[in-house]
Amino acid sequence: NQQLAVHARHIVNATGIFSEEVEALTGTESLVRIEPSKGVHLVLSREDLKLGDAAIVLPETEDKRILFIVPWESRAIFGTTDTGTGDLDHPTASKEDIAYLLKYLNRYLSLKLTEENIISTYAGYRPLVSPRKPGRSTAKVSRTHAVLQSPSGLVTIVGGKLTTYRRMAQDTLDVLNRRDGSPVLHPTQSLPLQGSAGWPVMQRELEKKGAALGLSPQT
């Protein structure tokens, strides 16, 4: 093993479910607790689901979750679960996870799919955030992100999710810019997302289809 001394103006800890462990290396206690939550998805054949090109939201499970079915080429992705932790280095779909998802898939779509219909599964952990200080609401904090500044100088970005990655990066860089006394700029606010070309045309088509169903453009 080789040890290296690396010097930097800033160090950002963006290690997800391992954020607490990394922050502990500085000798300080994190202001929040990371509570990993496992999410499992099933990959199925679109033909088995008779899905067409539509994505579907299954309204509610008995444990108050919302499930999604999203078409992807010849497949469909269905999920997700929200369960406790296991092996953080090797998340897998358990028998219980698969049974849970199949139960609601079959119930809402009136199907009789079994494990034999599953092409593959994949799983990962969400870095949900829970405050260490009493009296704060975990329900509100857990799905959002937070930028924490340690007495050691380490900046940690915790929580959040894939769909809010730009805001997470923006808030983190704002902290670093303020430390440096640099202007706080947000060039990505007007930068289109990858794959968003043609969105105005698609939006107009969606509004037309919505109007045919009696929906307002805002809906």
Among 163, 78, 82, 170, which residue's Cα sits nearest to residue 126? 82
* CB atoms inside a 10 Å sphere around CB 176: 15
**Are residue 39 and residue 119 in the same domain, yes or no?**
yes
Q: Are residues 167 and 218 in the same domain?
A: yes
Which residue, of 131, 160, 190, is where some domain finishes? Answer: 131
Mind listing the pLDDT tens digit for each residue in 116-171? 999 999 999 999 888 766 544 444 446 789 999 999 999 999 999 888 999 999 99
**215 and 139 within one domain:** yes
Domain-terminating residue out of 131, 154, 189: 131
- Host H or E run for residue 158: strand 155-159
Same domain, yes or no, for 88 and 19? no
Tally the domains of the chain: 2
Domain identity same for 113 and 198: no
Out of 131, 147, 174, a domain closes at 131
Q: How far is CA 62 from CA 4, 58, 66, 70, 135, in A?
A: 52, 12, 10, 21, 28
Instruction: Tell me the C-alpha distance between 88 and 218, whole Å.
Output: 41
Residue 184 has pLDDT above 90, yes or no: no
Give the pLDDT of residue 65.
85
Residue 44 and residue 94 in one domain? yes
Please compute the mean of the pLDDT values over residues 29-49 and round it to a whole number.
Answer: 90
The answer to whether residues 75 and 60 belong to one domain is yes
Mean pLDDT of 52-60: 85
pLDDT value at position 124? 93
Identify whether the C-beta of residue 93 lies closer than 8 Å to the C-beta of residue 43. no
Q: Which of 6-20, 93-107, 150-164, 205-219 has the lowest average pLDDT?
A: 205-219
The pLDDT of residue 142 is 63
| CATH number for the domain harbouring residue 103 | 3.30.9.10
Range of the domain at 98: 34-131
- Whole-number mean pLDDT of the chain? 87
